[in-house]
Amino acid sequence: MGDPEPIDFGILADAGFPLETYETGQKIFVAEDPAACLYVVKSGRIEIVSYGTVLDSVGPHDIFGEMSLIDGGVRSATAVAAEPSIVAPVNREAFIYLVQRNPDFALQVMRVLVKRIRGMNESL
């Protein structure tokens, strides 16, 4: 199956999504925070950390923070910029807009979720 296809940042830019900039070591969100959005990485690298362990490292055109957006729960891990990074937050309303405008966006998000679940299963 391989890695999921990268998210097309062009569809975000076309829709006028705002960008957020983070410096190395800056936290984007912390475990147990309420969640209002997922993020798409434009540039840089973000580490997803839980109890001091790096669970994942995501780079340009990857997404993170999608679980809480989908299920409405709190953040299950902390996201930290591993280097200077630019990300686009995508809230629930924007997510629905993107899925309606580009159904492949939903498939890309599902592929990311499947990849992460398979990775967790393999580590058991």
The pLDDT tens digits for 7-26 are: 666 666 666 678 899 999 99
Ramachandran category for residue 44: left, alpha or beta (phi over 0 → left; psi -120 to 50 → alpha): left
Residues of the chain under the 50 pLDDT cut: 1-2
Parallel, antiparallel, or unpaired: how do β-strands 20-22 and 46-50 relate? unpaired
Domains of the chain: 9-111 (2.60.120.10)
In this prediction, residue 116 carries a pLDDT of: 77
**Do you know the residue count of the chain?**
124
- Taking the model in full, what pTM does it have? 0.82
Residue 95: name the closest of 73, 57, 65, 53 by CA: 65
pLDDT at site 10: 67
